[in-house]
Amino acid sequence: MLPANVLYYGKDEPLPEQLALRAGPLSLVYENGDLRYIRLGDQEIVRRIYVAVRDRNWDTLLPVLSNVQVEAGEDRFRITYDAQHLQGDIRFTWRATIAGDAGGTIRFAMDGQAQTTFLRNRIGFCVLHPATCAAAPTQIEHVDGTLEASEFPVHVAPQAVIDGMIHPVYPFADMRAVSHEVVPGVWAEVRFDGEIFELEDQRNWTDGSYKTYGTPLRLPFPAEIAAGTRVAQTVRLTPNDERGTMNDEQAARSAAPDNSSFIVHRSSVVGRLPRIGLGAASHGQVLSQRELERLHVLNLAHVRVDLQLADSEYAGVFRRVAAEAAALGVSLEAALFLSDDAQAELGALVAMLRELRPPLAAWLIFHVAEKSTSERWIALARARLAVYDPAIPIGSGTNVYFTELNRQRPPAAALDMICYSINPQVHAFDNASLTETCATIAATLASARQFALGRPVAITPITFKPRFNPNATGPEPERRPGELPPQVDVRQMSLFGAGWTLGSLKYLAEGGAASATFYETTGWRGVMETAAGSPLPEAFRAPPGGVFPLYHVLADAGEFAGAEVITSMSSDPLKVDGLALYKDRMLRVLLANLSGAPQRLAVRGLGTRVLVRLLDETNAEAAMRDPETFRAQPGEEQAAEDGTLELALRPYAVVRIDSDT
């Protein structure tokens, strides 16, 4: 049997301890050297404060902590520790001192030194302001002493590149301090020392935050830091209570119920479930008959195939995936990567199309040297591909992050659809940070519609980790023996992976995505293990030929393909969240416990007859090994008095609720 932690999140090791602390009226969490979720009552002030060491390729070097000392009182705390960042030729160490007092002031200081000479893009503090700060009034103090009023952006603010220089979100630049209004009469000031700070809108990469950071990106990077160089910085958070309301906020927090609720507003339809597809397997193996049968269950709309037209081997990939799509009875979402010799490449492709006659849902047009595709390549592709079939939609945008689409807007008038890719692990990699990304997907969709000219928006592909590093300035570190490929995360085979998939699907659906292309068909980056199984150690291995828990999330959604999406709301979406669907007079609610702790949950707005099927540590391995038997189970009938169902969810559990209306 797989250990419980492997079923939870892919590794048989505990998660970092979360320690609840108080600084007067403020509550917060200390976790593995960072401060998280600093709140006044139920209002989140700061999402996270941490020190980042990022190498020349923007890869983040996680710290190893030692000598951790914590003194915690009822209304104050003090923490000290030593941190080391070690990778390749990089050796950087620092000492942390963190203190919170009874008045609500929190001070986080770092004093570090480079032990070797190396290239870095960033060393120092990052302060994350939650996405819920959108439209909040702000006061900025610049390093020259001037003050400027503004507000946090509502739509995702582009991180512009002008004359090769990356710009912050203005006027949040050259900052000594930034304050924002938390609730009427209460402001929170974050003050910096030891570096010049500026702000970027991290929602560009689907992080659930705005990030204040140093060093300014106008300065050249990567920059050499010589052995012996000292880096010392301080961040100070101070609440300013103009009306004496902080005690009221604290009382409201104390009176808040411990249990979560999930409310379904059955009379409110927000849209329709996007067309759901999968990427073709990157491992290149042909799908077996059993794999085809299991993929049929997902009721897919399409399979994405990536074709590098300058590579002569793309023809074999195209033939294999076209045959698999035909066997599944679905269309192809064909991503074409053009070089400067696109005219000849497209001509050769059209000749192959006349031979294969594959079913096609859309073309996605990209150029290998462009992060956001320019109109010349789209026009050329449309003209050449129209010779084969002018009715096939032409889509484009970016094959990488939303930020590229946002800073170089697509020529929407020349397109039938806009597309971009997402993954939750550009800046942070822990479970909590990944959970925070789900809701931000809707923010990117709302922002994309600003410049899409009414064209549908496709999110393709959605992966659990980046497929490649589009911002590298040097070679990637070599993979050590036994390490997973950088595109693979063991959490993809876990219950947490299923929960993140469900959370992302909720906000894709509620945000109005026309289609969503998840993961791959099979393999480490897919929805099921290949028949041959994995060469990984047993503790990291899914059952050979078995499915991953996220398979069942997609299958449950696939049974409601084309369904109406009903408005639903969680009282604490970072703990429990879900999606409500309506089709053929049946309501289906899919929920996930996104935390490592048991959750009690009241689900409101259901009908009188309720069938409940749980997927958790008690049956996950069986559901992976034998998905057919698991899916044949309709669920247990339970009472939903007055349309309310009380649930007790184990860590990372996923639940399906079918209800009449």
At 608, is the pLDDT very low, low, confident or very high (cuts 50, 70, 90)? confident
Q: Which 3 state secondary structure label does DSSP give 313?
A: coil
CA–CA separation, 627 vs 90, rounded Å? 46
CATH of the domain at 93: 2.70.98.10
> What's the pLDDT at 545?
73
Considering the domain boundaries, does residue 476 fall inside one?
Answer: no
The dihedral through the CA atoms of 25, 598, 590, 610 has a sign that is negative
Q: Are residues 25 and 53 in the same domain?
A: yes
pLDDT score of 204 more than 70? yes
Considering the domain boundaries, does residue 433 fall inside one?
Answer: yes
Q: Are residues 212 and 325 in the same domain?
A: no
Cα 98 versus chain centre, distance: 29
* Radius of gyration over every alpha carbon of the chain, rounded to an integer in angstroms: 25
Q: What is the pLDDT of residues 349-379, one digit of tens each?
A: 999 999 999 999 999 999 999 999 999 999 9
Considering the domain boundaries, does residue 243 fall inside one?
Answer: yes
> What's the pLDDT at 251?
45
The residue ranking higher by pLDDT, 471 or 509, is 509
Q: Are residues 218 and 352 in the same domain?
A: no
> What's the pLDDT at 244?
73
Tally of CB atoms within 10 A around 88: 11
Average pLDDT of the segment spanning 4-33: 95
pLDDT score of 651 more than 70? yes
Considering the domain boundaries, does residue 503 fall inside one?
Answer: yes
Q: What are phi and psi of 14, to 5 degrees?
A: -70, 155
% residues pLDDT > 90 (the chain): 86
Tally of CB atoms within 10 A around 385: 21
Helices then strands (H, E): number in the chain? Answer: 12, 36
> What's the pLDDT at 468?
86
> What's the pLDDT at 254?
44
Q: Are residues 210 and 306 in the same domain?
A: no
> What's the pLDDT at 202?
97
> What's the pLDDT at 530?
86
Tally of CB atoms within 10 A around 607: 17
Q: What is the pLDDT of residues 325-340, one digit of tens each?
A: 999 999 999 999 999 9
Q: Are residues 605 and 498 in the same domain?
A: no
CA–CA separation, 556 vs 579, rounded Å? 11
> What's the pLDDT at 410?
96
Q: What is the pLDDT of residues 174-200, one digit of tens each?
A: 999 999 999 998 999 999 999 999 999
Does residue 189 contact residue 212 with C-beta atoms inside 8 Å?
no
Does residue 525 contact residue 280 with C-beta atoms inside 8 Å?
no
Lowest mean pLDDT across 24-28, 65-69, 242-246, 391-395? 242-246
CATH of the domain at 652: 2.60.40.1180
Q: Are residues 318 and 398 in the same domain?
A: yes
CA–CA separation, 393 vs 318, rounded Å? 19
Contacts of 444 (CB under 8 A, 6+ apart): 156, 203, 204, 206, 402, 420, 422, 511
> What's the pLDDT at 147?
97
Q: What is the pLDDT of residues 109-151, one digit of tens each?
A: 999 999 999 999 999 999 999 999 999 999 999 999 999 999 9
Structural domain harbouring 296: 274-468+489-559
Boundary residue ending a domain (529, 559, 589): 559
Q: Are residues 516 and 639 in the same domain?
A: no
At 390, is the pLDDT very low, low, confident or very high (cuts 50, 70, 90)? very high
Q: Are residues 331 and 455 in the same domain?
A: yes
Which DSSP string do the residues of 357-390 spell out, in sequence order?
Answer: ---EEEEEEEETT-SS--HHHHHHHHHHHTTT-T
> What's the pLDDT at 622?
96
pLDDT score of 249 more than 70? no
pLDDT score of 233 more than 80? yes
Q: Report the predicted TM-score, pTM, of the whole model to 2 decimal places.
A: 0.93
Which DSSP string do the residues of 84-102 spell out, in sequence order?
Answer: EEEETTEEEEEEEEEEE-T
% residues pLDDT > 70 (the chain): 94
> What's the pLDDT at 65?
97
pLDDT score of 542 more than 70? no
Q: What is the mean pLDDT of the chain?
A: 93
CATH of the domain at 380: 3.20.20.80
> What's the pLDDT at 639?
86
Considering the domain boundaries, does residue 474 fall inside one?
Answer: no
Q: Are residues 574 and 550 in the same domain?
A: no
pLDDT score of 531 more than 80? no
Boundary residue ending a domain (516, 537, 559): 559
Q: Are residues 464 and 580 in the same domain?
A: no
Considering the domain boundaries, does residue 581 fall inside one?
Answer: yes
Considering the domain boundaries, does residue 2 fall inside one?
Answer: no
At 255, is the pLDDT very low, low, confident or very high (cuts 50, 70, 90)? very low
Lowest mean pLDDT across 167-181, 332-346, 542-556, 588-602? 542-556
Boundary residue ending a domain (255, 284, 316): 255
Count of domains in the chain?
3
Q: Are residues 282 and 382 in the same domain?
A: yes
Considering the domain boundaries, does residue 218 fall inside one?
Answer: yes
Q: Are residues 549 and 603 in the same domain?
A: no
> What's the pLDDT at 260?
87
> What's the pLDDT at 534?
59
